Chains A and B, each alone.
Chain A
């Protein structure tokens, strides 16, 4: 369970938001909304432990994530705003490197299959710089198809640059993960439909000041 109490984040002298409290239980989705610049990415980076909150704390199963460090991170997959792909490496090599970092155990065949499921059949061995924006996003998202064992997914704009079919695929993947007792945090501008789950919504436009 991921909990946050009275979380406040400041960038420079600018207070983005304060007083964010929630408890994310297994099977629950947390949706973070808000306009551009409202601090969605900062909140997600704080939940990962990349950004230090100026007040409040974040706990994983009751312990502060700053103290847990790797013990927390090995339960987490984070898809950031950037795709984290190396232009010179192929889609497959990129996926293998990202899996190794997140501690995802997957064979080469499983990785190929994940890329195929994300519509990259025949593109696995192209350098990432030759892929389109949408294909690059799919390559980095393909990690999720191998991440069923990691309970917490933190996804920053996962649907950006994706076409309708890929958005559907992502939504069903997230729904399956939640049904299996996983947790997901995501930001999106699109009205995503992930059916019939307990959903917590945080609107950062209302948390300001």
Chain B
């Protein structure tokens, strides 16, 4: 069972490496969207400091959306998805492995780049770890929730747009808690409450999303 999960993560990472322009597109999109705001809003330090967490978080949501469409689409088109549905291991475990690989490819880079982007907004240095930590807890939730949307819209015409309409509203709690954590820390209130709630949401999503994704994938395969 462990060998299977490892094999799936390895396969997905290998595929991402061979299609590295796709991965780079997502990361560059994130960098560019965030960098546009200081240019558009103007160099007013207090304003930039205030909007920084919200902007970085919204850009992370959008970047995540961008990569989600491909999560199951190519496997569906070339028949690999059928093999996953007929695998010797529970589908939920395969979904977890796929979501983990997706997060490594498209979530983790955002976490690692966030301090660099915070510099552009002149965010106080002591807030960098809070921002990165909130993204570290939040981006896996984005991947797991998004995977449900990706599975539900699989094989539909205009699935990409529908996916955004379906999933973005579900991202609202993560956005509020994630950006709120940095705001609370900036106000000297401490980010613990926000981060703990994010952690709780991650546990909840990680428990139920694989089941929902599996069910949606089986319906899509019919």
Contacts and interface: CB of A to CB of B under 8 A. Distances in A.
Interface of A: 45, 48-52, 69-70, 73-74, 76, 78, 80-89, 93, 96-98, 100-103, 127
A85 B11 contact: no
B11 A89 contact: yes
Question: At the interface, is chain A mostly helix, strand, loop or mixed?
Answer: loop
B3 interface: yes
A84 B79 contact: yes
9 contacts: A45-B82, A50-B82, A69-B90, A74-B88, A78-B83, A84-B78, A97-B80, A103-B87, A103-B88
Interface residues of B, number: 25
Of A49, A51, A100, A102, most B-chain CB atoms within 10 Å: A100
A85 B78 contact: yes
Contact of B15 (A52, A82, A88, A98): A88
A96 B87 CA distance: 14
Contacts of A45: 82
B157 interface: no
Given A51-B222, A52-B222, A85-B78, A101 B3 contact: no
B72 to A, nearest CB: 13
Contacts of A81: 79
Nearest to B74: A86
Contacts of A49: 86
A88 B83 contact: no
B131 to A, nearest CB: 34
B222 A101 contact: no
